């Protein structure tokens, strides 16, 4: 028999006190959110008959999750970050803000302040014997007109699926760059083909995924922030065709319109023309930006990020 005490006047009043409603200090917004968290947590405990042992196991889990810096990883893996995209898509549709390259999740591994280059750059530090990848494309508006001087801020994993900064064995800003598009709206990068990411097998995120019967793998992908004055900031990714996890992404980031074809080129002559030895890869991907409905829409979210300036 499930007992429901959380809707009694006594418990309601107690939660109001605990969430600060009986004082005039602090943040009304946070009070409203905490009030709801207390009420809904109590409802979950009652409806699912959560035992004290289960409750304290969850508290300990949160400590371990934070201790490993995996809170951002867990919300991606549980699909909550993708849900925020679905919600924004629905809000955009209601507001008539359609068209352009689809958004998809940022993920937890962006680092602010990557080196800036005009038009083209090399992203890898040369330390890994990966397959050379030539990545290029054009940034356009929704009418198809090239956008010059757009900032293409891109980042991706190395051949082990690891990201610089979080992986301290990599050099600073390895595989992270900002490229300013040229007069034709073009960006060009020489890098190495990334591998897909996998959650740390001994980490708290994978621990939950195991209990859900799920893996913690992402397909090979490249992240982008694209911005330009007058245009709406775009957060998106290219997920690479041919990857076994392309449509089985633990973070649900792959979307129609965001699959990038990767061509592997074997011809020695083509390699010579590119100035590389042996087999290399080419990825071409163009982006379309919506017009900014208001100046604030030109900026990315204020999500806390590594090395972000205040």
Verify binding: residue 77, Fe ion, rule CB under 5 A.
no
- Report how far residue 248's alpha carbon sits from residue 214's, in angstroms, rounded to the nearest whole number: 10
Of 120 and 167, which CB lies nearer to ligand MBD in the complex structure? 167
How many CB atoms neighbour CB 283 within 10 A?
20
Give the residue with the Cβ less far from Fe ion, 15 or 197: 197
107 lines the binding site for Fe ion (CB under 5 A): yes
Interface with Fe ion by CB under 5 A: which range of 106-114, 119-127, 144-152, 205-213? Answer: 106-114
Q: Of the two residues 76 and 147, which places its CB atom closer to Fe ion in the complex? A: 76
Alpha-carbon distances, residue 172 vs 111, 119, 130, 176 (angstroms): 10, 21, 18, 9
296: which DSSP letter?
A: G
How far apart are the two ends of the chain, measured CA to CA in Å?
A: 52
38: CB partners within 8 A, 6+ apart = 15, 18, 19
260 binds ligand MBD (CB under 6 A): no
Using alpha carbons, list the distances in angstroms from residue 71 to 62, 134, 141.
8, 33, 35
Piece of the chain touching ligand MBD by CB under 6 A; list 12-20, 107-115, 129-137, 290-298: 107-115
Interaction between residue 251 and ligand MBD (CB under 6 A): yes
Q: Which of 222, 253, 262, 289: binder of ligand MBD (CB under 6 A)?
A: 253
Q: Which residue's beta carbon is nearest to the bound ligand MBD?
A: 107
Q: Which is nearer to ligand MBD, 109 or 147 (CB)?
A: 109
Tell the smallest beta-carbon distance from residue 218 to ligand MBD (Å): 5
Q: Is 105 a binder of ligand MBD (CB under 6 A)?
A: yes
Contacts of residues 38-46 at CB distance under 8 Å and 24 or more positions apart, as own/partner, are 39/6, 39/12, 39/15, 42/6, 42/11, 42/15, 43/6, 45/6, 46/2, 46/3, 46/4, 46/5, 46/6
- Applying CB under 6 A, does 107 fall inside the site for ligand MBD? yes
Q: Which does 216 bind (CB under 5 to 8 A by kind): Fe ion, ligand MBD, none?
A: none
Q: Using the rule CB under 6 A, is 218 a contact of ligand MBD?
A: yes
Residues of this chain that interact with ligand MBD (CB under 6 A) are 73, 76, 105, 107-109, 197, 218, 251, 253
């Amino acid at each position: 028999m499930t007992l429901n005490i959380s809707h009694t006047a006594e418990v309601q009043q107690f939660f109001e006190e605990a969430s600060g409603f009986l004082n005039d200090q602090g943040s009304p917004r946070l009070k409203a959110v905490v009030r709801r968290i207390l009420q809904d947590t109590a409802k979950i405990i009652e409806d699912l008959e959560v035992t004290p042992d289960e409750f304290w196991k969850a508290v300990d889990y949160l400590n371990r999750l934070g201790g490993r810096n995996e809170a951002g990883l867990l919300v991606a893996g549980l699909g909550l970050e993708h849900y925020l995209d679905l919600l924004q898509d629905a809000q955009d549709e209601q507001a008539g803000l359609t068209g352009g390259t689809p958004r998809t999740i940022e993920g937890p591994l962006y680092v602010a302040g990557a080196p800036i280059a005009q038009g083209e750059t090399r992203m890898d530090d040369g330390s890994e014997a990966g397959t050379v990848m030539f990545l290029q494309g054009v940034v356009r508006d929704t009418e198809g007109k090239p956008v010059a001087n757009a900032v293409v801020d891109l980042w991706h994993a190395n051949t082990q699926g690891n990201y610089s900064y979080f992986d301290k064995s990599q050099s600073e800003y390895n595989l992270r760059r900002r490229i300013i598009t040229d007069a034709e709206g073009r960006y060009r990068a020489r890098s190495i083909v990334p591998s897909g990411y996998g959650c740390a097998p001994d980490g708290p995120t994978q621990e939950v995924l195991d209990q859900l019967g799920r893996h913690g793998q992402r397909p090979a992908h490249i992240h982008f922030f694209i911005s330009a004055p007058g245009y709406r900031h775009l957060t998106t990714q290219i997920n690479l065709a041919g990857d076994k996890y392309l449509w089985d992404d633990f973070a649900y980031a792959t979307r129609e319109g965001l699959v990038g074809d990767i061509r592997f080129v074997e011809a020695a002559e083509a390699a010579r023309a590119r100035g590389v030895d042996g087999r290399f890869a080419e990825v071409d991907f163009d982006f379309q930006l919506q017009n900014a409905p208001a100046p604030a829409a030109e900026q990315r979210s204020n999500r806390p990020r590594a090395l972000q300036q205040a």
